[in-house]
Amino acid sequence: MATRYDAVLVLDFGGQYSHLIARRIREQGVYSEIVPHDIKSYEIKSFNEKLNLKGIILSGGPASIFDENAPRIDDGIMNLGVPILGICYGHQLLAHITGGKVERSNVGEYGATYVIIDKPVGVLKGLKGKVKVWMSHSDNVISLPCDYEIIAHTENSPFAAFMHKGKQIYGLQWHPEVSHTENGVKMLRNFLFEVCGCNANWKVENIVDSIIKEIRRDVGGDKAIIALSGGIDSSVATVLAAKAIGDRLTAVFVDHGFMRENESEFVRSVFQGFGINLVVVNAQDRFLKRLKGVVDPESKRKIIGEEFIRVFEEVAERTRAKCLIQGTIYPDRIESGFRRFSDKIKTHHNVAGLPTNIKFRKIVEPLRDLYKDEVRRVAEILGLPRELVYRQPFPGPGLAVRIIGEVTREKVEIVRKADKIVREEIERNGLGGRLWQYFAVLMDTKTTGVKGDARAYGYVVAVRIVESREAMTASFAKIPYEILEKISSRITNEIPEIVRVVYDVTHKPPATIEWE
């Protein structure tokens, strides 16, 4: 980054809302990054070479300060001289390390709670009376040293918000970053602009040129290669890299045969339009061969992932590329970097995180600091077609994980046709924009039906249509019956092998979005 943007660091204690804090800050035009809570103060100082550190936020988290190895912060952080805001666990930790007292309480506060504003200053500037906030805690701050004062309380939390009388240190027991907290954005803005004195000069628009320059610098005079999936992240990384190094870039699109209808043609037409060196590898037969007889979903994913890497490596070797460019985005990095405690539900074969045996001199990740919506903004700035920018997510292993049981050529054809019908009907009715995903899944059972005057015995297709914000949770979409009816009759009319269509009415959780 050429400009030194004002920035606020979020020290992550593992809270489910840590990401939201950084997001909300960036929405205000101030750059923010999430770092592990045990970051050392000297590391923070070196961070300051790139950015202009204006404040630190200690996030919430699942721990209690009474836990044996309760997470702490490096002692030097309190002496860095930048404003600090503790949220939830961060609030309790600040009280604990500055000589206050925290106790375990029998009466927790969960969900919407009313706080009374005692002193509308600093983070609480401009607020008064009762404010509805979102709480989620059982430990409670019950005393603070005399250089601190209470600025808000609730019935059960006498120190629901506090501040230091001389230094810029604040604690909030509630979560200003969640939308259920009334005036939560105002509280965060107060911290950014009143307390930290930030300049709102961070904008995605400003950084496109510097990303291109960075790629040019990192790749140097070498050749580079990128695995292009046709999804938004690798597409944006490809266009940026091509702008940076021109024909020294080779983009590789591996068609494993489980793509949606017209996918290779779509990718080819978009990227040839950008004058990009694109290699489309038709590897359909070798993937099908490797999947023969395989029914277990995790084995399918593993085999497809491995085979993908083999194909990619073969092309990489031929191009003599020294650099690998990847479309890794910020949440990918956070997930794999230091938040290792989430349970493995399924192996996501993610082209962006492609491991490889080939020794590259360098791995370049131009989108590593951006969130998805910021990547979309970059895509728009680069002139990528809307169809690509707002397309629904599609899993790396493709239609292979939308065929329950063994994958055969015949079944791929069936599910591809059904997928096309679902997409056409949803998009024709203008619903695409508000839905996260809409697709068809082919069952491995056959059932009886009647077509014409004859008995038919054929496959079942499940239609899955969901609404979601980040795919962590999802709800089945309550779309009009008439549209479902049209989808169902088109599928059974146009695909002779199908006699029955069912609609999946399960949320995530307990189901996942994909069926395998």
Catalytic residue among 177, 425, 497, 514: 177
DSSP reduced 3-state for 299: helix
- Contacting range for ligand XMP; rule: CB under 6 A; set: 29-37, 157-165, 494-502, 507-515: 507-515
Give catalytic status of residue 177 as yes or no: yes
What 8-state DSSP symbol labels residue 226? E
Q: Which is nearer to ligand XMP, 137 or 301 (CB)?
A: 301
B/e letters for 202-224, b = 16+ CB within 10 Å, e = fewer, are bebeebbeebbebbeebbeeebb
Q: State in angstroms the smallest separation of the CB of 392 from ligand XMP.
A: 8
Interface of this chain with ligand XMP, residues 391 to 420, rule: CB under 6 A: 393, 395-397
* The token pair that represents 179 in the structure block: 């939308």
Q: Are 61 and 35 in contact (CB under 8 A)?
A: no
Q: State in angstroms the smallest separation of the CB of 231 from ligand XMP.
A: 7
Partnered with residue 454 across adjacent β-strands are: 451
- Contacting range for ligand XMP; rule: CB under 6 A; set: 1-9, 348-356, 403-411, 444-452: 348-356
Interface of this chain with ligand XMP, residues 465 to 494, rule: CB under 6 A: 471
Q: Which is nearer to ligand XMP, 40 or 346 (CB)?
A: 346
- Contacting range for ligand XMP; rule: CB under 6 A; set: 234-242, 279-287, 314-322, 389-397: 389-397
* The token pair that represents 11 in the structure block: 């020290």
Q: State in angstroms the smallest separation of the CB of 470 from ligand XMP.
A: 9
Q: Which is nearer to ligand XMP, 443 or 471 (CB)?
A: 471
Q: Which is nearer to ligand XMP, 15 or 395 (CB)?
A: 395
Residue 235 found at the interface with ligand XMP (CB under 6 A):
no
Which of 30, 43, 388 is closest to 229 using CA atoms? 388
Q: State in angstroms the smallest separation of the CB of 437 from ligand XMP.
A: 6
C-alpha to C-alpha distance for 176 and 88, rounded to whole angstroms: 10
Q: State in angstroms the smallest separation of the CB of 98 from ligand XMP.
A: 42
Could you write out the DSSP letters of every residue in 402-425?
Answer: GBSSS--HHHHHHHHHHHHHHHHH
Q: Which is nearer to ligand XMP, 142 or 431 (CB)?
A: 431
Q: Are 338 and 12 in contact (CB under 8 A)?
A: yes
Catalytic residue among 19, 37, 88, 516: 88
C-alpha to C-alpha distance for 88 and 432, rounded to whole angstroms: 38
DSSP reduced 3-state for 54: strand
Q: Which is nearer to ligand XMP, 174 or 394 (CB)?
A: 394
Q: Where in 221-283 does DSSP place strands (E)?
A: 224-227, 249-255, 278-282
Catalytic residue among 137, 175, 256, 349: 175
Residue 279 found at the interface with ligand XMP (CB under 6 A):
no
- Contacting range for ligand XMP; rule: CB under 6 A; set: 84-92, 162-170, 257-265, 344-352: 344-352
Residue 348 found at the interface with ligand XMP (CB under 6 A):
yes
Beta strand pairing status for 84-87 and 52-58?
parallel
Which of 101, 99, 73 is closest to 10 using CA atoms? 73
Choose, by CB under 6 A, the member of 250, 328, 350, 492 that binds ligand XMP: 350
Residue 327 found at the interface with ligand XMP (CB under 6 A):
no
Q: Where in 397-497 does DSSP place strands (E)?
A: 437-451, 454-467, 475-476
Residue 299 found at the interface with ligand XMP (CB under 6 A):
no
Residue 63 found at the interface with ligand XMP (CB under 6 A):
no
Residue 508 found at the interface with ligand XMP (CB under 6 A):
yes
Residue 86 found at the interface with ligand XMP (CB under 6 A):
no
Choose, by CB under 6 A, the member of 113, 238, 277, 437 that binds ligand XMP: 437
* The token pair that represents 407 in the structure block: 């994958």
Q: Which residue has the tokens 């395998």?
A: 516
Give catalytic status of residue 413 as yes or no: no
Which of 333, 345, 344, 321 is closest to 370 using CA atoms? 333
- CA 344 centroid distance within chain: 16
Residue 346 found at the interface with ligand XMP (CB under 6 A):
yes
Q: Which is nearer to ligand XMP, 110 or 390 (CB)?
A: 390
Which of 133, 135, 164, 159 is closest to 148 using CA atoms? 164
Q: Which is nearer to ligand XMP, 29 or 353 (CB)?
A: 353
Choose, by CB under 6 A, the member of 12, 109, 332, 514 that binds ligand XMP: 514
What 8-state DSSP symbol labels residue 164? E
Partnered with residue 169 across adjacent β-strands are: 84
Residue 462 found at the interface with ligand XMP (CB under 6 A):
no
Q: State in angstroms the smallest separation of the CB of 256 from ligand XMP.
A: 12
* The token pair that represents 181 in the structure block: 């907290």
Residue 349 found at the interface with ligand XMP (CB under 6 A):
yes
Residue 513 found at the interface with ligand XMP (CB under 6 A):
yes
Q: State in angstroms the smallest separation of the CB of 99 from ligand XMP.
A: 45
Q: Are 487 and 425 in contact (CB under 8 A)?
A: yes
Q: State in angstroms the smallest separation of the CB of 439 from ligand XMP.
A: 8
Sheet holding 31-36, edge to edge: 31-36, 6-12, 52-58, 84-87, 169-172, 161-164, 148-153, 101-117, 130-143
Alpha-carbon dihedral sign for residues 122, 126, 129, 135: negative
Q: What are phi and psi of 266, to 5 degrees?
A: -60, -50
Q: Which is nearer to ligand XMP, 35 or 441 (CB)?
A: 441
Size of the site for ligand XMP (CB under 6 A): 16
Q: Summarize as ranges the residues that interact with ligand XMP (CB under 6 A).
A: 301, 345-346, 348-350, 393, 395-397, 437, 471, 508, 512-514
Catalytic site positions:
88, 175, 177
